[in-house]
Structure 1
Amino acid sequence: MTSQSSLNIPASGSTVRISIIDTSLDAYLPTSHFFGPTIKGFEDFHAVAYGFLVTHIDKDGKERRIVFDLGTPKDLENDFPPPIFETIKAMFDRLKVEKYVSEILTEHGISLDSIESVVWSHAHLDHVGRPSLFPKSTSLIVGPGVKEAYYPGYPANSEAPVLSREFEGREVTELDFSPTDLEIGGLKAIDYFGDGSFYFLSAPGHAIGHLNALARTTEGTFIYMGADSFHHSSMLRPHAGFRLPTDVRLPSLCCAGEAFNAIHPLSNLDEHPEYYQSALQHPSNDKNETPFHTISQTPEGQSLAVDIQTARNVIGAVQKFDADENVLVIAAHDTSIYDVLEYLPKEANDWKDKGWKEEGRWLFLQDLKPALDLSGALGKPQ
Structure 2
Amino acid sequence: MSKPAPSLGVPSSSSTVSVRIIDSTTLINFSPSYFFETSIYGHDDLAAPAYVFLITNTASDGSKRHILFDLGVRSDPENLAPTLRENLKHVGAIINVEKGIAQILDEAPTAGKSTPSSKEIEAIVWSHHHFDHTGNPSTFPSSTTLVVGPGFKSKMLPGYPEDEKSSLTSSDWEGRELREIDFPSPGLKIGGFKAFDYFGDGSFYLLDTPGHAVGHVCGFARVSVSPDTFVFMGGDAAHHGAEFKPTEYHPLPDSLPLTGSFKYHSIPCPGEVLLQAIADGRANANAKNLGSRTEPWYEPLAALCYDKPDTVATIRSLEEFDAQDSVFVIIAHDGSLKETLKWFPEEINGWAKENLDKSSRWYFIRDFAKVVDDFGSA
TM-score, reference length from structure 1: 0.90
CA distance 1:365–1:205, shift in 2 (3 Å):
same
**In the TM superposition, what whole-angstrom CA distance separates every residue of 1:63-87 from its partner, at most 9, and x where no partner exists?**
1110000000121112x11110111
Q: Which residues of structure 1 form unaligned runs of 5+? A: 298-302
Is 1:235 the counterpart of 2:243 in the alignment? yes
Is 1:294 the counterpart of 2:302 in the alignment? no
Match of 1:305 in 2: 305
Aligned partners of 1:160 and 1:145: how far apart in 2?
16
> What SS class does the counterpart of residue 342 from structure 2 fall into?
coil
Bigger shift: residues 106-115 or 166-175: 106-115
> What SS class does the counterpart of residue 237 from structure 2 fall into?
coil
Is 1:186 the counterpart of 2:192 in the alignment? yes
CA distance 1:92–1:346, shift in 2 (3 Å):
farther
* CA RMSD after TM alignment: 2.0
Aligned partners of 1:113 and 1:327: how far apart in 2?
31
Aligned partners of 1:46 and 1:262: how far apart in 2?
26
1:169 aligns with one of 170, 175, 178: 175
CA contact under 8 A between 1:153 and 1:167: conserved in structure 2? no
**Deviation for aligned residue 1:60:** 2.2
Alignment of 1:98-137 (within 5 A): 98-108=98-108, 109=110, 110-137=116-143
Match of 1:207 in 2: 213
Aligned partners of 1:36 and 1:256: how far apart in 2?
26
Percent of aligned pairs with the same amino acid: 39
Aligned partners of 2:284 and 2:82: how far apart in 1?
42
Match of 2:57 in 1: 56
CA distance 1:239–1:91, shift in 2 (3 Å):
same
CA contact under 8 A between 1:47 and 1:333: conserved in structure 2? yes
Match of 1:300 in 2: none
Aligned partners of 1:373 and 1:270: how far apart in 2?
18
Aligned partners of 2:276 and 2:223: how far apart in 1?
39
Aligned partners of 1:270 and 1:97: how far apart in 2?
33
> What SS class does the counterpart of residue 84 from structure 1 fall into?
helix
**Deviation for aligned residue 1:179:** 4.6
Match of 2:202 in 1: 196
Aligned partners of 1:271 and 1:5: how far apart in 2?
33
CA distance 1:124–1:263, shift in 2 (3 Å):
farther
Aligned partners of 2:277 and 2:307: how far apart in 1?
28
CA contact under 8 A between 2:240 and 2:334: conserved in structure 1? yes
Bigger shift: residues 177-186 or 96-105: 177-186
**Deviation for aligned residue 1:348:** 0.7
Match of 1:319 in 2: 319
CA contact under 8 A between 1:117 and 1:140: conserved in structure 2? yes
> What SS class does the counterpart of residue 147 from structure 1 fall into?
helix
Question: What letter is aligned with 2:292?
Answer: K
Q: Which residues of structure 2 form unaligned runs of 5+? A: 111-115, 263-267
Alignment of 1:70-81 (within 5 A): 70-78=71-79, 80-81=80-81
CA contact under 8 A between 1:180 and 1:190: conserved in structure 2? no
Is 1:160 the counterpart of 2:166 in the alignment? yes
Is 1:45 the counterpart of 2:46 in the alignment? yes
**In the TM superposition, what whole-angstrom CA distance separates every residue of 1:290-331 from its partner, at most 9, and x where no partner exists?**
11211024xxxxx11111111011111111111111100000
CA contact under 8 A between 1:190 and 1:199: conserved in structure 2? yes
CA contact under 8 A between 1:4 and 1:10: conserved in structure 2? no
Aligned partners of 1:5 and 1:292: how far apart in 2?
22
Match of 1:257 in 2: 271
**Deviation for aligned residue 1:155:** 1.4
CA distance 1:363–1:192, shift in 2 (3 Å):
same
Alignment of 1:355-374 (within 5 A): 355-374=355-374
Bigger shift: residues 161-170 or 105-114: 105-114
**Deviation for aligned residue 1:349:** 0.5
Bigger shift: residues 191-200 or 56-65: 56-65
Question: What letter is aligned with 2:255?
Answer: D
Aligned partners of 1:266 and 1:32: how far apart in 2?
20
> What SS class does the counterpart of residue 228 from structure 1 fall into?
coil
**Deviation for aligned residue 1:259:** 1.5
**Deviation for aligned residue 1:234:** 1.1
**In the TM superposition, what whole-angstrom CA distance separates every residue of 1:75-123 from its partner, at most 9, and x where no partner exists?**
1112x11110111222234220111111111111422221110010000
Aligned partners of 2:81 and 2:183: how far apart in 1?
30
Is 1:30 the counterpart of 2:31 in the alignment? yes
